[in-house]
């Protein structure tokens, strides 16, 4: 298979759950909709279930993008100077990986896209903080989904976001306003270093960011664009932009690999 025909690889860091009390080892978990969206974009999702921060240096060069997915779990409050709430579902193994992976992807020029928890991971990894329960904050909306409703209702568009004029978000939406879904209890309180707020909810909550000066695609959103993205042009365009960046990264990797092999192809006849 030629380099140009190989699918770009996108690393989806997994979550970790104790789903079976009889199995203390736990489970590696990834919601199908993220992997399905990546596949629909012509990319190949990959998981490294037991990867830790010490493995990033050898694994990141193998992929062409990083998609930080949403999750029922929250980033540990101790990572941004807070105290965990009694109701928090935590995933310290994921935190330990993603806090380092965010910075490594940015330094390495690997396309990075954070969704929901993924946006919060980017923010915390870059020194930002989070509201732990938006619905208890004065003046803030309740951004949570109706738990008893079916998925179609939970992922339906819930509120408007105001998009920075001239931003990539405004280009993807074709407007400075767009409707998005809303399924989160936490949210950005203080922006991390180098982040530009380019989408806000009506209550002022930052819901879309760009990493300023990043050498490749580096964005995060609080909503879930992976949900039926082909039915939502705004969602689809941002995901396609991420996919294009991953394809560009793949092409650059293939070109670099070809350059390393080139001297061997130029040997004189008869020379071993």
Task: Tell me the catalytic residues.
Answer: 116, 224, 226
Q: Quick one: 235 exposed, middle or buried, by C-beta within 10 A (0-12, 13-18, 19+)?
A: buried
Q: What is the spatial distance between Cα 137 and Cα 140, in angstroms, rounded to a whole number? A: 6
């Amino acid at each position: 298979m030629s380099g140009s025909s190989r699918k770009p690889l996108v690393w989806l860091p997994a979550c970790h759950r104790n789903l079976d009390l009889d199995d203390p080892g736990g489970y590696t978990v990834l919601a199908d909709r993220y992997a399905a969206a990546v596949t629909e974009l012509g990319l190949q999702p990959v998981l490294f279930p037991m990867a830790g921060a010490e493995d990033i240096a050898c694994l990141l060069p193998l992929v062409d993008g990083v998609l930080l997915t949403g999750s029922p779990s929250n980033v540990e409050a101790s990572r941004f100077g807070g105290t965990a709430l009694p109701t928090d579902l935590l995933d310290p193994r994921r935190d330990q990986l993603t806090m380092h992976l965010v910075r490594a992807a940015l330094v390495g020029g690997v396309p990075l896209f954070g969704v929901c928890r993924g946006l919060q991971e980017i923010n915390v990894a870059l020194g930002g903080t989070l509201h732990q329960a938006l619905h208890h904050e004065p003046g803030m909306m309740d951004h949570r989904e109706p738990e008893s409703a079916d998925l179609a209702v939970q992922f339906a568009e819930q509120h408007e976001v105001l998009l920075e004029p001239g931003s990539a978000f405004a280009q993807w939406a074709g407007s400075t306003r767009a409707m998005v879904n809303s399924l989160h209890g936490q949210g950005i309180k203080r922006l991390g270093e180098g982040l530009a707020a380019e989408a806000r909810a009506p209550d002022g909550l930052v819901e879309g960011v760009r990493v300023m000066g990043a050498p490749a695609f580096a964005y995060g959103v609080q909503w879930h664009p992976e949900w039926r993205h082909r039915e939502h042009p705004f969602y689809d365009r941002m995901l396609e932009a991420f996919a294009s960046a991953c394809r560009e990264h793949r092409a650059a990797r293939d070109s670099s690999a070809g350059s390393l092999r080139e001297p061997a192809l130029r040997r004189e006849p008869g020379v071993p």
